[in-house]
Amino acid sequence: MTSLARGPVGGEPQGGARPGDGTGEPDGPGHPALRGLPAVWLRANCPCADCQDPGSGQRLAAITGLPADVTVAGVLASDAAVEVIFGPDGHRAVFAADWLARYGDSGDPPSQGGEAGTGPGPGLPDDDRTEDAKCLWAAADLGGGIPQGWWPRYLADPEHRSACLSAVLTHGLVVLHEVPCEPGAVLAVARSLGYVRETNYGRLFDVRAEPSAANLAFTRLPIAPHTDNPYRDPVPTIQLLHCLHAAAAGGGDSTFTDGFHAAAVLRGRDPAAFTCLTTTPVTFAYSDAATVLRATGPMIGLDPRGRIRQVRLNGRSLAPVRLPAAGARTFYAAYRAFAELAADPEALVTTTLAPGDCVIFDNTRILHGRTAFADGGGPGGASTGRRHLQGCYADLDGLASTVAVLARGQAGRAGREDQDERAGQAGS
Ligand code: FE2
């Protein structure tokens, strides 16, 4: 069997730690250097070259290929490294001690901070998409404005780019000023953070009043706070809106609400309504001459631990609910309560997008809307004076990847954290 150290390995075995010190029991390794991690966990995450491809970091050993009766037969520990000898086959693994510390018992109380780089140790958040990893906000918490950045600096300065994109992960949105007022510029912004998500609306879509709109977004009507495309599965998780022309005659202001905050307020004020919206699947639907889309899910989606993870709110595309009369009454009351919280002036930030402003937001969390506008442009043309936004979709995992790669560069660690993570996590 081959032992391969990942991370610093060295030093002499600590006093009393020698092969044969293991308990030989699958879930009672006993040695403090193992931090309470059971034999099967240690074996499943063995970083040796037989178990994990050194080049890609991907796991070679399948769970079905491991001994079902694996035990810890011995432990050799130094400050930097922990060598484990497994029974019944004598396989050896060498772990960096700080890597084990990330996943095992620390002796400290569980953190709720959601810091980047923490793994799924006991009590730690392991899903950066849930409310535990976010900064929930009402309007007053933002000091009157949404997080902002500047496109030229965003392009030139990786730290500024990282700060802007990190705001999308923590607060759900950022506005970039000084994006060139050119058709299609929104696609360049999307490409700077990930990949454009093409839909039936195209690679980008124009948001402006049109004579025969297939979607109320393309009219001058007010639009209540909503998430986009809940009739799509998977839903686009990032949306961008780039202002090319503001409304000439006023109105058309943009509104943004933290849907996670609204859902959390509902949970506190009316737990029964919150439970109704987390447990009642509803269908959203959209159709036009070329498209028929339907998707079903609860308005407030929770993770398996009961934390808010996704909101879906869009009155324009909610299909008739299929519920008994009493259930329908309960559902619509809960839906109304959530929609009222989403539109509460204390929750919602109103901003006037100027030409060149591009908002990037988390479409699983941020509810966006607009006020009505009376426009000066003539029908059919994109002439000066018409409110005209261009939008497109992208994905949150791509944005998170961009932030992580930027952080790698800033730390100058050449991907050490990623490599460390991969010692225990195989991708595909
Ligand atoms: Fe929208």
CATH 3.30.2020.30 residue ranges for the chain: 1-108
Q: How many angstroms separate the alpha carbon of residue 369 from the centre of ligand 1?
A: 7
Q: How many angstroms separate the alpha carbon of residue 289 from the centre of ligand 1?
A: 20
Q: How many angstroms separate the alpha carbon of residue 410 from the centre of ligand 1?
A: 35
Query: Span 132-403: which CATH code?
Result: 3.60.130.10
Spans in the chain with pLDDT lower than 50: 1-28, 109-120, 377-384, 414-416, 418-419, 424-428
Q: How many angstroms separate the alpha carbon of residue 141 from the centre of ligand 1?
A: 24
pTM, to two decimals: 0.84
Q: How many angstroms separate the alpha carbon of residue 229 from the centre of ligand 1?
A: 8
Q: How many angstroms separate the alpha carbon of residue 108 from the centre of ligand 1?
A: 44
Q: How many angstroms separate the alpha carbon of residue 58 from the centre of ligand 1?
A: 39
Check whether the bond before 122 is cis (ω within 30° of 0): no
Q: How many angstroms separate the alpha carbon of residue 227 from the centre of ligand 1?
A: 6
Q: How many angstroms separate the alpha carbon of residue 27 from the centre of ligand 1?
A: 51
Q: How many angstroms separate the alpha carbon of residue 181 from the centre of ligand 1?
A: 20
pLDDT of amino acid 125: 57
Rounded CA separation 42/21 (Å): 16
Q: How many angstroms separate the alpha carbon of residue 249 from the centre of ligand 1?
A: 21
As beta bridge partners, residue 76 has 83
Query: Span 1-108: which CATH code?
Result: 3.30.2020.30
Q: How many angstroms separate the alpha carbon of residue 336 from the centre of ligand 1?
A: 19
Q: How many angstroms separate the alpha carbon of residue 345 from the centre of ligand 1?
A: 19
Q: How many angstroms separate the alpha carbon of residue 332 from the centre of ligand 1?
A: 22
Q: How many angstroms separate the alpha carbon of residue 126 from the centre of ligand 1?
A: 30
Query: How far out from the chain centre does Cα 339 lie?
Result: 23
pLDDT of amino acid 421: 57
Please answer whether residues 85 and 73 qualify as being in contact, where contact means their C-beta atoms are separated by less than 8 angstroms: yes
Angle at 380 between CA 376 and CA 384, to 5 degrees: 40
Q: How many angstroms separate the alpha carbon of residue 66 from the centre of ligand 1?
A: 50
CATH 3.60.130.10 residue ranges for the chain: 132-403
Q: How many angstroms separate the alpha carbon of residue 207 from the centre of ligand 1?
A: 9
Q: How many angstroms separate the alpha carbon of residue 365 from the centre of ligand 1?
A: 13
Rounded CA separation 163/158 (Å): 9
pLDDT of amino acid 426: 30
